Amino acid sequence: MNHTKKLVLVGNGMAGIRTLEHLLKIAPGAYDITVFGAEPHPNYNRIMLSSVLAGGAGLQDIVINDWNWYEENHIRLYTGDPVIAIDTDKQQVRSRSGVCVAYDLLLLATGSNAFILPLPGADKDGVIGFRDIHDCEMMMETAKAYKKAAVIGGGLLGLEAARGLLNLGMDVTVIHIHEQIMDRQLDEAASSMLRRELEEQGMTFLVNKRTAAITGRRRVEGLKFADGSGLEADLVVMAVGIMPDIELAVSAGIPVNRGIIVNDYMETGIPGIYAVGECAEHRGITYGLVAPLYEQGGVLAQRLAGIEAPGYRGSVTSTKLKISGVEVFSAGCYQDEPGTRSLRYQDELDGVYKKIVIKDEQLIGAVLFGDTSDGAKLFSLIKSGESVTGREKELLLGFNPGQSETSGSLVLEQMPDDEIVCGCNGVSKGAIGEAVAAGCRSLAEIKACTKASASCGGCKPLVEGLLQLYAGAETGEPVKEGICGCTTLDRDAIIDGIREMGLKSVKEVMHVLGWDEPEGCSKCRPALNYYLGMLWPLDYVDEKESRFTNERYHANIQKDGTYSVVPRIYGGVTSPADLKKIAAVAEKYNVPLVKFTGGQRLDLLGVKKEDLPGIWSELNMPSGHAYGKTLRTVKTCVGNTFCRFGTQDAMGMGIRLEKAFERLNAPSKVKLAVSGCPRNCAEATIKDLGVVAIDGGWGIYVGGNGGIKVRAAELLCTVKTEDEVMEWTGAYLQYYREQADWNERTAHWVERVGLESIKQALASDETRKQLVGRIEEALSTATDPWREIIEDREQLKNFVQLPELIQ
Ligand SMILES: Cc1cc2nc3c(=O)[nH]c(=O)nc-3n(C[C@H](O)[C@H](O)[C@H](O)COP(=O)(O)OP(=O)(O)OC[C@H]3O[C@@H](n4cnc5c(N)ncnc54)[C@H](O)[C@@H]3O)c2cc1C
Ligand SMILES: NC(=O)c1ccc[n+]([C@@H]2O[C@H](COP(=O)([O-])OP(=O)(O)OC[C@H]3O[C@@H](n4cnc5c(N)ncnc54)[C@H](O)[C@@H]3O)[C@@H](O)[C@H]2O)c1
Ligand code: SF4
Ligand code: FES
């Protein structure tokens, strides 16, 4: 007689199977297990459906446990056969096909259903939710025959669906009921930045819109809105939230509210029946993300294994939007509320926004846009609840291992071993440590071994940090990692690949070098665009779509959506004629603010996009490139032309440098300055390259920065003549162009590689001449972008309606 207890799991999804995985580990053979799944598939990673739709993964890639797994673990599996009744007295379940199975313990993990708005016409063909493989396949089929997609709901799911449909070649409109998209995860600033970015990717948004009806005959033809307007659509995807699937529980008399009510041990109101996952309601909360569901699964597995352990207390959640090219992270309480203190950092140039919310000395929430690399560490701090007093700056501006006692590496070191690092796949810090101990030495190997970072990718920085912590220290060498989550190749490998295989476009690089994400992301696309331009200066045609907004519009976008215009003023030396032109333009276009910049330039702020070409044309001055990864300004003092202390002509030197290197395409922005004596009024020693006059010559200083982390420039060399200044500057800048990572400022680069190595590289006359030759070649193809746009009707269309074109 078999005394093994019978466990029946209803729901072959992520939470239920995760619970079984745990249970099999801690109590192998304890139960005779049967699983019923309504879908005709083995257990798969639902999260990855977004990647499947977007073309980043195939259905075969998202299976978590294949058919063999069930067999190997002696699990009886019924797929495509939902349980339709539970007899709680007889303790047995019955499936749609009539299979009856008795249980000692029953586990409900039925997940959720997509919420379909009960609108007139919601039953038409072409109206679907986005929840399972079937929905995904249906969208992919529809995209082959139809063009216009409408996604109702601008939340995580709606936006990921919209991105996928764009990749499938459809025109996509997202209809959102509120003003701000992702209003459940983001504050106003981050939401606006996200919307702008997605609009640039090709999405159209209709906000503050309430859908009233779906029109068409058998198949959907359009939407009608409550305000009387309408939209044509061949496909409507509803992504307005989810409803826990409690139908079966209700029919069995199990107590429910929004979800199936459970206690801290996932027990329902009926003894012997448990619920886990999205269908379960714990302390009044139902969850819609896997991390908390995996936590529930862990607690339940221990309960089923008879292990005494603390119960489930509820979870703080974090989310990351899985759209390549967009970095968005949100965790905990992200809105300002009474008793909370919010700190914000915004960098309009690089499109970065960060906000942290503090209450009673603890970090309780964070929103990151543009740079989410600290997301996982902030999330870890939110969960730990430790005091963050005095660490606000570090939290907001970024963890920097080795900088302080409270640095990022310390956060990782102090993290308990059982803390989950990868929420999507339930991988703990300890498991990463074990993988490294077993020989994993790259993110790809850790991914293959543990599945950490294989889904949303939000944990990649944390996994990389742990890899560095465990393997970096052991080997004494930094671990080489991919330039972003789309590839495992580092910069050097990519550059070698491009060179050796003669690759000539961003797409080709991603294809030939085996990118995981076929479209790349906001990190790798501009980096590849830069590397290709640097390697093939004469042939490569710059890919505008791989550049950031500011570089595409050749103006700095401001927080209210207007732009700023900074004409080039060489060396900061202007003339009455230029000043008159600037004043006339500012008056004519009602420019709200005219301001001197820190680099001695005049900035016209608050300009509307459609006025840009007109202003550029009437200024008739070159672009000051105040927006790009290029030479920005050469600041000068008056030097010996007027100043009684001056020993050299600082203005002349500065103007010569600026005229030689303007329009230079660089890994990051480059600022120069020239001072006429060591009093250094032009602050040359906090610039990327500063030239300071000394008696009978010049000192050239490099690697300075006056930004977030002030760094004093270091002396590269002293020279006698202006020509030598030109040669050393050219050689140094070209060496930086060739060696630095994309987006790496000179200060970081010099710190990383060490000044000595740069001095050595530039020591020989011959090498310097070659470097100068190459920089001149690169500069020979540079044109003035403002003029180029004014003279190109195609490009002008991005700014103004054709009838208004400036000739
Ligand atoms: C496109 C998409 C992207 C997502 N991205 C993320 C993300 O990036 N990060 C994140 O954390 N979360 C994400 N989620 C949410 C995440 O997938 C869910 O939270 C998770 O899958 C829920 O797990 P579950 O086991 O509770 O439910 P499910 O995975 O839905 O599993 C429930 C299963 O039970 C089956 N079932 C229902 N009733 C019965 C029955 N009577 N008999 C038998 N079987 C039944 C269902 O068919 C289903 O297969 C995403 C969801 C979608 C749809
Ligand atoms: N990257 C991720 O973490 C990820 C990705 C996809 C899905 N998910 C999860 O899947 C579940 C479903 O996602 P979701 O985005 O549908 O849910 P959601 O509740 O997060 O968002 C739904 C959005 O639809 C909007 N909305 C509601 N009614 C509307 C209407 N009538 N018209 C237009 N907009 C309306 C809401 O304001 C909300 O912003 C969630 O639990 C989500 O967390 C997570
Ligand atoms: S740096 Fe020297 S030369 Fe230049 S303004 Fe100052 S004192 Fe005069
Ligand atoms: S947290 Fe999503 S893949 Fe790790």
Write the CATH number for 133.
Answer: 3.50.50.60
Report d(CA 575, CA 742) in Å as an integer.
Answer: 36
Ligand 3 closest atom vs CA 648: 3
**599 lies in the same domain as 726:** yes
**673 lies in the same domain as 612:** yes
Its domain, for residue 19, covers: 5-112+244-304
Report the pLDDT value the prediction gives residue 499, as an integer from 0 to 100.
93
Residue tagged 């999804």 (tokens): 13
- Which residue ranges have their beta carbon within 6 Å of ligand 3? 637-639, 643, 645-646, 650, 675-677, 679-681
Structure tokens at 337: 């509320």
64 CB near ligand 1 (under 6 Å): no
- pLDDT tens track for 367-395: 999 888 788 888 888 988 889 888 888 88
Structure tokens at 361: 């000395």
**196 lies in the same domain as 259:** no
How many angstroms is it from 560 CA to the middle of ligand 2?
A: 27
**Domain end residue (candidates: 514, 547, 580):** 547
Residue 511's Cβ-side half-sphere holds a number of Cα atoms within 13 Å equal to 7
* Nearest ligand to the C-alpha atom of residue 676: 3
**Contact assessment for residue 207 and residue 199, using Cβ atoms and an 8 Å cutoff:** no
* Nearest ligand to the C-alpha atom of residue 428: 4
Would you say residue 418 lies in a domain?
A: no
155 CB near ligand 2 (under 6 Å): yes
| Lowest model confidence (mean pLDDT) among 283-297, 316-330, 351-365, 392-406 | 392-406
User: At residue 573, what is the residue type?
Assistant: V
**576 lies in the same domain as 538:** no
Mean pLDDT of the region 174-199: 94
More confident residue, 488 or 492: 492
Does residue 652 come out as left (phi exceeding 0), alpha (psi in the -120 to 50 range) or beta? alpha
152 CB near ligand 2 (under 6 Å): yes
Report the pLDDT value the prediction gives residue 385, as an integer from 0 to 100.
87
Mean pLDDT of the region 626-642: 94
Whole-angstrom CA distances from 78 to 18, 135, 557, 648 are 17, 21, 56, 86
Residue 547 in this model has a pLDDT that exceeds 80: no
* Angle 268-271-273 from CA coordinates, rounded to 5°: 55
Query: Ligand 3 pocket test: which of 573, 600, 637 has the largest number of ligand atoms within 8 Å of its C-beta?
Result: 637
Mean pLDDT of the region 584-612: 93
Structure tokens at 785: 């972008």
161 CB near ligand 4 (under 6 Å): no
* Nearest ligand to the C-alpha atom of residue 86: 1
Mean pLDDT of the region 641-647: 94
**603 lies in the same domain as 730:** yes
| Lowest model confidence (mean pLDDT) among 203-212, 508-517, 615-624, 742-751 | 508-517
How many angstroms is it from 639 CA to the middle of ligand 3?
A: 5
Query: Ligand 3 pocket test: which of 634, 674, 680 has the largest number of ligand atoms within 8 Å of its C-beta?
Result: 680
Report d(CA 396, CA 100) in Å as an integer.
Answer: 57
* CA trace torsion 590, 596, 598, 604 (10° rounding): 20
More confident residue, 202 or 104: 104
Phi, psi (5° rounding) for residue 188?
-60, -45
Report d(CA 492, CA 767) in Å as an integer.
Answer: 20
Report the pLDDT value the prediction gives residue 339, as an integer from 0 to 100.
92
Residue 183 in this model has a pLDDT that exceeds 80: yes
109 CB near ligand 1 (under 6 Å): yes
More confident residue, 219 or 556: 219
Report the pLDDT value the prediction gives residue 478, as an integer from 0 to 100.
56
Residues in the chain, overall count = 807
Please choose, from the candidates 742, 259, 688, 376, the residue with its C-alpha nearest in 3D space to the C-alpha of residue 534. 742
160 CB near ligand 2 (under 6 Å): yes
How many angstroms is it from 676 CA to the middle of ligand 3?
A: 5
Ligand 2 closest atom vs CA 185: 20
- pLDDT tens track for 269-303: 999 999 999 999 999 999 999 999 999 999 999 99
Ligand 2 closest atom vs CA 242: 12
171-175, strands of its sheet edge to edge: 127-129, 235-238, 148-152, 171-175, 204-206
Ligand 3 closest atom vs CA 638: 5
Q: How does DSSP classify residue 540? A: P
| Adjacent-strand bridge partners of 8 | 34, 106
**559 lies in the same domain as 533:** no
**Domain end residue (candidates: 190, 213, 240):** 240
Q: How confident is the model at residue 403 (pLDDT cuts 50, 70, 90)?
A: very low
637 CB near ligand 2 (under 6 Å): no
Report d(CA 45, CA 19) in Å as an integer.
Answer: 15
**Domain end residue (candidates: 240, 266, 292):** 240
Kindly provide the ipTM of the predicted complex, given to two decimals. Answer: 0.92
- Total tally of structural domains belonging to the chain: 4
**610 lies in the same domain as 685:** yes
Q: Exposed (0-12), middle (13-18) or buried (19+): which is 359, by Cβ within 10 Å?
A: middle
Query: Ligand 3 pocket test: which of 573, 635, 638 has the largest number of ligand atoms within 8 Å of its C-beta?
Result: 638
Report the pLDDT value the prediction gives residue 109, as an integer from 0 to 100.
98
Report the pLDDT value the prediction gives residue 401, as an integer from 0 to 100.
40
Mean pLDDT of the region 753-778: 96
Q: Are strands 420-422 and 427-428 parallel, antiparallel or unpaired?
A: antiparallel
Q: How confident is the model at residue 807 (pLDDT cuts 50, 70, 90)?
A: very low
Report the pLDDT value the prediction gives residue 519, as an integer from 0 to 100.
76
- pLDDT tens track for 455-470: 777 788 788 888 888 8
**671 lies in the same domain as 523:** no
- pLDDT tens track for 188-212: 999 999 999 899 888 999 999 999 9
**265 lies in the same domain as 213:** no
How many angstroms is it from 695 CA to the middle of ligand 3?
A: 13
Q: How confident is the model at residue 62 (pLDDT cuts 50, 70, 90)?
A: confident
Would you say residue 535 lies in a domain?
A: yes
* Nearest ligand to the C-alpha atom of residue 322: 2
Residues with Cβ within 8 Å of 795's Cβ and at least 6 positions away in sequence, in order, are 788, 789
More confident residue, 660 or 707: 660
**167 lies in the same domain as 132:** yes
Q: How confident is the model at residue 96 (pLDDT cuts 50, 70, 90)?
A: very high
| Lowest model confidence (mean pLDDT) among 5-14, 192-201, 636-645 | 192-201
Report the pLDDT value the prediction gives residue 457, as an integer from 0 to 100.
72
**Contact assessment for residue 646 and residue 638, using Cβ atoms and an 8 Å cutoff:** yes
CATH number at residue 643: 3.30.413.10
**104 lies in the same domain as 135:** no
| Lowest model confidence (mean pLDDT) among 1-5, 430-434, 595-599 | 1-5
Q: How does DSSP classify residue 117? A: P
Residue 535 in this model has a pLDDT that exceeds 60: yes
